[in-house]
Amino acid sequence: MILIRNCPHENGIYTLLGGDKKQIIKSTYSTDGITRLIKEHNGYKWYFERIGNQEIKNSLLINTTDSYCRSHTPFFCGDIGDPYKSISTNKKQLLKAIDAYIFIWPERNNKKHCIHGDYSIGNIIFSKINGNTPILIDWEHFNKGVAPWGFDLVNLLYEAVYFSFSKRNSLSKRDILAYVALKKYILKHMGLDNMICNVYALKEFISENVFLWDGLVEKLPVVNLSDIQCDYINKIDFKYGMNNGAIGSV
């Protein structure tokens, strides 16, 4: 086996590539790590049920004791997204990620919905294993029935904006235009009781629900957006008539 990740973000989880290079094996001895692996296993099961791939769903394995957990998931080939690139550079992949979300979460109602919790193109493999649907990975923050429809979409958008600032407090013209196009595309799908597509609403929801990330909320790039950057984004929204952010409320 080959060690791929050694407890990233201090999550207590070791990630290895199986000797046959067909499986990803994750193991942990920590209590929090066990909780995360169980969440991830349940997230994968829910996800592959949703996209109609029973074969992969049935191949998922997890072994758990009071002090140890080990999970097995298939190794998926394909190109993974790079979230650190600008929003304009990643625009096509972001559009695919938005379409994938709409396909996986088709019920746009006022109920509380499941969340991936770290919906990022860095956690998406753009492969054709299931038609044209990208493959979502890293479900460690999966939670059932906890957020308005669209939370993961809004997080996806503002993560892309965060990395586009590149330690500045303004965006390039290309990045502004990409942000406006992507936000308007998301807003087309928002309903009265869906997540507000607004950076302030996103940060407020996360701050009020930090328990969903089991102490690792800092791994979400959007929590690091400064007040100056948030105000700058808000001014763009006003300029392009997107200041309502959506027509619902958290």
Report d(CA 125, CA 136) in Å as an integer. 6
pLDDT for 119-178, tens place per residue? 999 999 987 555 567 899 999 999 999 999 999 999 999 999 999 999 899 999 999 999
Mean pLDDT over all residues of the chain? Answer: 90
Q: Which domain holds residue 207?
A: 79-239
pLDDT at 8: 72
Longest Cα–Cα distance of the chain, Å, equals: 55
User: And the tokens for 58?
Assistant: 């049935």
Q: Both 121 and 230 in a single domain?
A: yes
Q: How far out from the chain centre does Cα 179 lie?
A: 17
Residue that is written with structure tokens 């308005």 in the block: 148
The last residue of a domain, from among 52, 74, 96: 74
pLDDT at 132: 60
Burial of residue 74 (number of CB atoms within 10 Å: 0-12, 13-18, 19+): middle
pLDDT for 45-86, tens place per residue? 999 999 989 999 999 999 999 899 999 999 988 889 999 999
Highest-pLDDT range among 40-44, 105-109, 165-169, 192-196 = 40-44
Residue 246 pLDDT grade (very low, low, confident, very high; cuts 50, 70, 90): very low
User: And the tokens for 24?
Assistant: 């990803």
pLDDT at 124: 95
Residue 14: inside a domain: yes
Q: Both 163 and 119 in a single domain?
A: yes
Q: What is the CATH number of the domain that holds 61?
A: 3.30.200
Number of domains in the chain: 2
C-alpha dist (Å) from residue 83 to 25, 78, 129, 131, 183: 24, 16, 22, 23, 17
* Residue 232 vs residue 249, higher pLDDT: 232
Please name the residue ranges forming H helices in the chain.
31-50, 54-59, 91-104, 151-165, 173-187, 199-208, 227-239
Q: Both 26 and 70 in a single domain?
A: yes
Q: Both 67 and 85 in a single domain?
A: no
The last residue of a domain, from among 74, 104, 131: 74
Q: What are phi and psi of 243, to 5 degrees?
A: -70, -20
Q: Cα torsion for 82, 219, 31, 19, to the nearest 10°?
A: 20
Report d(CA 218, CA 185) in Å as an integer. 28
Share of the chain above pLDDT 70, in %: 95
pLDDT at 134: 85
Question: What pTM, to 2 d.p., does this model score?
Answer: 0.92
pLDDT at 249: 34
Please, are residues 126 and 174 in contact by the beta-carbon 8 Å criterion?
Answer: no
Query: Taking residues 16-31, what's their average pLDDT?
Result: 88
